[in-house]
Structure 1
């Protein structure tokens, strides 16, 4: 469903839950990469929710993920990141 949705619209931001090993979203990464290349920009901005305090670079995802936010997630931690990436 998520891949189909990505093909039909460009969301304002994508928030992915990497799961316990940061691999739960691997099937979406190529679709997001294709979408970002098609826009010619780093759009949509992508946030990965992670069990570790990693960076996109350390995970080898710098071309697809803009920010990694470590769990546990709270609105007070996540909302400022979304606002910054979407220019609010």
Structure 2
């Protein structure tokens, strides 16, 4: 369902739940990468919700991930990241 929706709508931001090993959304990465390539820039921004603390690089994540937010998620932690990425 998520992959189909991604083809139909262009979101302002994408928030992915990586699951216990940060791999739960790997099947969406190629579609997101295609969408970003078509936009000609890093749009829409991609945020990964993770059980592990670190950066995209230190966690060995896809280069299309713009930010990592460590669980547990609260509006006070997630919203500033969304705002920063959407306004760039």
TMscore range, shorter length: over 0.9
Corresponding residue of 1:65: 65
Corresponding residue of 1:7: 7
| Pairs aligned (count) | 87
Q: The residue matched to 2:29 in structure 1 has which SS?
A: helix
Q: TM-score, normalised by structure 1?
A: 0.93
Q: TM-score, normalised by structure 2?
A: 0.93
1:1-40 aligned at under 5 Å gives the runs: 1-40=1-40
Corresponding residue of 1:81: 81
Measured in 2, the distance between the counterparts of 1:60 and 1:17 equals: 13
What's the RMSD between the two structures over aligned residues?
1.3
Q: The residue matched to 2:36 in structure 1 has which SS?
A: helix
Structure 1 portions without partners, runs of 5+ = none
